Amino acid sequence: MKHSAMKVALFIPCYVDQFYPQVGIATLELLEKQGVEVHFPTDQTCCGQPMANSGCEDQGQETAKLFVENFKDYDYIVGPTGSCVLHVREHFNKIPQTEAVKKVRAKTYELCEFLTDVLKVHSFDVSFPYKVGLHLSCHGQRGMRMAQSSELVGQDFSKMRSLLAMVKDIQLIDLDRKDECCGFGGTFAVAEEAVSVKMGKDRIADHKKNGAQVLTGGDMSCLMHMEGIIKRKKEDVKVMHIAEILNGKTV
């Protein structure tokens, strides 16, 4: 399908809608630059993951049905999040599997995955002259296999890293632990506050130790958690969503 012929729906996770509109804007503009016609169904809310990961899958069923209703008429559904997209794909299995549900589950993509696998982007006409540390969020990483996970034996790859490498003047740093979890984990962040924060601190320390000026990633939830710690500790690291960098925002 030609890019211009695609009918793409923008899926903006609830907390991004409420707290990080600039990430939504960057995602929208980035897709538009690729010549894609993007729509934002304005009655969208959430994917239902917060309830499901807390054990209350049932409480998320109506939310899931609403999601399908909002997005069923598009060729692709694209969101700047691995976590919520994985939830749609994997855990929309408890509502009746209508054609619409099946289609939505199959056609929902994480932004970087969509840029890589569907749009097959080869370059970005933007510059980002900073040392950047990439945080691989677990759901995109191990859930959706957007990069080779460090536990498995096989060919190394990373869709996000490859996209970032197309940005001019960027310096991607290597981490001591390239895909360790940041400790966000949804309600885990408050239910297991002590461990959650320690995990976040340790990730930030790894980025700092290896010289990151900017910490980026594909899931604003993980970044929100780490940014919260960075702000509290007044650390000298800037946090940005990968869509912002790819869309040409500067620090």
Partner 1 sequence: MNHPTAAAIFNKDELRTEWHDKALWYVRNKRDLSAKSVPEWEELRNLAEAIKANVLSNLDNYLIEFEENAQRNGIKVHWAKDAAEHNKIVHGILEKKSVKKLVKSKSMLTEECHLNGYLEEQGIEVVDTDLGERIVQLAKEPPSHIVMPAIHKKKEDIGTLFHEKLGTEQGASDPQYLTEAARQHLRVNFLSADASLSGVNFAIAETGGIVVCTNEGNADLGINLAPVHIASMGIEKIIPKAEHLGVFLRLLARSATGQPITSFSSHFHGPKPGSEMHIVIVDNGRTEQLGREDFRKSLNCIRCGACMNTCPVYRRSGGHSYGYTVPGPIGSILSPGKDLKKYSTLPFASTLCGSCSDVCPVKIDIHTQLYKWRQIIAKEHQLPWSKRQAMKIAGYMFAHPKLYRFAGKAGRAMLRMMPRTLVYGPWNAWGKQRDLPEPPKESFRDWYIKNRKK
Footprint of partner 1 on 192-211 (CB under 8 A) = 192-200, 202
Is residue 89 near partner 1 by the rule CB under 8 A? no
Cα(6)–Cα(37) distance, rounded to whole angstroms?
6
**In the range 4-33, which residues lie near partner 1 by CB under 8 A?**
12, 14, 16-21, 23-25, 28
Is residue 36 near partner 1 by the rule CB under 8 A? no
**Contact region for partner 1 (CB under 8 A) — 101-109, 125-133, 138-146, 167-175?**
138-146
- Closest approach of partner 1 to the CB of residue 25, in Å: 6
Q: Which of 35, 62, 157, 251 binds partner 1 (CB under 8 A)?
A: 62
**Contact region for partner 1 (CB under 8 A) — 53-61, 115-123, 206-214, 240-248?**
53-61
Interface with partner 1: number of residues (CB under 8 A): 76
Is residue 108 near partner 1 by the rule CB under 8 A? no
Is residue 236 near partner 1 by the rule CB under 8 A? no
Is residue 118 near partner 1 by the rule CB under 8 A? no
